[in-house]
Amino acid sequence: MDIKEIREILKVLERFEILDFSLQEGDTRIHVRRGGRGGESDQGLSGRSLAREVLTVTPHSELPVTAPEPEGSLVVGEKQFLVTSPIVGTFYRAPSPESPAFVEVGSQVSKGSVLCIVEAMKIMNEIESEVGGKVAGILVENAQPVEYGQPLFIIDLV
């Protein structure tokens, strides 16, 4: 990864007002964190009131070794799993307006269970659970737009 690629990443982070970002490519890891001064409120990146921008590049050999996480999701706590949107689109909790929701808070799910649909360009994409467990939280309202990587569900692991 060269400096030009890093600058492009920083431009995208600023454009979409992303406050915390990590990327690992080959033997290099990049972590960018943006935030306001202590005691002052952030006005977003467009307000240019950010006090600090930290960019850390760490050689892969210095990183702790961890098991890979399933793509599109991440472990929230020791016993929780965060399901994120793999695409930009519209979030639907049920297959049709008259149908019951795929899952509710408290529902038991297994790996491969359909959690919701994200519609993108008139294509209905079923989002499946990558783990078994109990739905602890639904983080998006029905028929709301979602972004790539946006958290959708919290699942308590079995």
Can you give the pTM of this predicted structure?
0.53
User: Where in the sequence of the chain do the CATH 2.40.50.100 domains occur?
Assistant: 73-157
Give per-residue pLDDT as tens, 6-46: 777 777 777 777 777 777 776 677 777 766 444 444 444 44
Using DSSP's 3-state secondary structure scheme, residue 84 falls into strand
Task: Evaluate if residue 77 carries a pLDDT over 50.
Answer: yes
Q: Of 147, 146, 143, 152, which is closest to residue 92 (Cα–Cα)?
A: 143
Higher pLDDT, 151 or 63: 151
Q: Of 16, 17, 20, 6, which is closest to residue 49 (Cα–Cα)?
A: 17
Q: What would the two tokens of residue 139 be?
A: 């983080």
73-157 maps to which CATH number? 2.40.50.100
Give per-residue pLDDT as tens, 124-149: 999 999 999 999 999 999 999 999 98
Instruction: Using a pLDDT cut of 90, give the percent of the chain over it.
Output: 46
Q: Of 153, 102, 109, 106, which is closest to residue 124 (Cα–Cα)?
A: 102
